[in-house]
Amino acid sequence: QSFKLLGFLDVNSVPCSRESVLYGSVGSLVVGLGHFLATSRVRRSCDFAVGGFICTMLGYWFYCRYNLAQQRIRQRMLREGMRNKILFEGSSLDPERKQTGNEGSDS
């Protein structure tokens, strides 16, 4: 079952969107309730809650997307390294193979 935010953003299919909305709602609750307990001004606290939602959601969104990009880079490097290991294993280009002076003779 998909959940669409603002009618067009499918939260389940976009990476990091679900967690961003959840953390944003918690941040909204904390900031709004904290401001209300400090000042007892309802309208101003709601404004702070909306601001807290936006800031928390965007902050976690960028943090999560950055980590996702780093993970994809590491996966690509690992995949390339495994492919090179399979290609060069046992050949003269294999870095793990011992380089000896008498490679041409079978003694």
Lowest mean pLDDT across 21-30, 32-41, 88-97: 88-97
Query: What's the CA gap between 99 and 85, in Å, rounded?
Result: 17
Split at pLDDT 50, 70, 90, the class of 1 is low
Split at pLDDT 50, 70, 90, the class of 82 is confident
Cβ-in-10-Å burial (0-12, 13-18, 19+) of 18 comes to middle
On average, the pLDDT of the chain sits at: 84
DSSP code at position 90: T
Q: Where are the domains of the chain?
A: 17-86
Cβ-in-10-Å burial (0-12, 13-18, 19+) of 65 comes to middle
In this predicted model, what pLDDT tens digit does every residue of 26-70 receive, in sequence order?
999 999 999 999 999 999 999 999 999 999 999 999 999 999 999
Strand partners, 5: 9
* Model-wide pTM > 0.75: no
